[in-house]
Structure 1
Amino acid sequence: MLATHQWMGGAMAFPDVCKMPFPFPFFNLGLRPMTIPACWHILLFGGPMHNLFAKTPITLLDQPGVLGGVISQVFMQMQRHITGSFTLLLRGGPATRLTSLAVQNRMNIVGFECIPGMHFKFFNFKF
């Protein structure tokens, strides 16, 4: 399973139902580069890894719902993970990975890590 780290990637959720003045479903996106606190001394591809204690303070794509979420009454709010690895601990917390569940827009919607942050390059070496 792919681990999550501070480079690109993120968590997506749908439907994040916000009021604008009527309830309307939006996508909700939490980007990993904004996540704090990361495990700064444990690097993966040069980026700090994330554990279950890491939170993203701002989520995106629900800005038109200015009256807030139906459940949380807020928009563009915190995202935090609720599932992690059972076998790998980073700084005392379970490591997060691709497909980890995340509560987004405070408690308005449950999404998951679905945008991979790893970039694979293929090299053609000729000897």
Structure 2
Amino acid sequence: MFAVTLAGGQCMATPDVCEVPTPGGPVATPFPNIGLPSMGDSPTTKVLVSGMPALTKASKIPLTNGDELGKVGGVVSKKSQGEVEFVVGSAKVKFEGQPAIRLSTPTRQNAGNALGTVVAPSQSKVMVIS
């Protein structure tokens, strides 16, 4: 699978069940949750993939979108637009000592409220096979 970098791509989790405020009280509602690797923090500083810093298991995406209407927050995390963290990385390929992140890596999104995956590649030249 292709290595994930700050060049783009997409992480998706659905359903991200958040509570929506209503006059009768909060109602649990499913939303999609989308994280953009281009917003990732703690990327590599010395390893570039196709000219862009790569993401590792230590990287996080601090902000997501898609669940903005769930103002009360997720049923698990009690947050809306929470961070994306990568559950596992490559078992064999490491960037700066951390497991590399690649297309199809599992994610926890909205601060753990929804499980997802990296669904769109950042680049299509460098593959991480393991």
Distance 1:85 1:119, change over 3 A: closer
Instruction: Name 1:2's counterpart in structure 2.
Output: 2
1:1-127 maps to which residues of 2 (within 5 A)?
A: 1-20=1-20, 21-118=26-123
Give the Å deviation of 1:44: 1.1
The alignment of Structure 1 onto Structure 2 pairs a total of residues equal to 120
Give the Å deviation of 1:119: 5.8
- Structure 2 counterpart SS, 1:14: strand
Alpha-carbon distance in 2 for matches of 1:119, 1:42: 17
Per-residue deviation, residues 71-107 of structure 1 (Å, max 9, x unmatched): 1111111110011111111111100100000100001
- The normalised TM-score by structure 2 is 0.88
Superposed CA RMSD: 1.1
Per-residue deviation, residues 3-51 of structure 1 (Å, max 9, x unmatched): 1011111210000000002011000001011101100221111110111
Q: Whose RCO is larger (CA < 8 A, sep 6+)?
A: 2
Which of the two has higher C-alpha Rg? 1
Alpha-carbon distance in 2 for matches of 1:119, 1:107: 28
Give 4+ residue runs of structure 1 displaced > 6 Å after superposition.
none
Instruction: Give, as a single letter, the amino acid of the residue that structure 2 aligns with 1:13.
Output: A
Instruction: Give, as a single letter, the amino acid of the residue that structure 1 aligns with 2:109.
Output: Q
Alpha-carbon distance in 2 for matches of 1:75, 1:48: 27
Identity percentage over the alignment?
Answer: 33
Instruction: Name 2:23's counterpart in structure 1.
Output: none
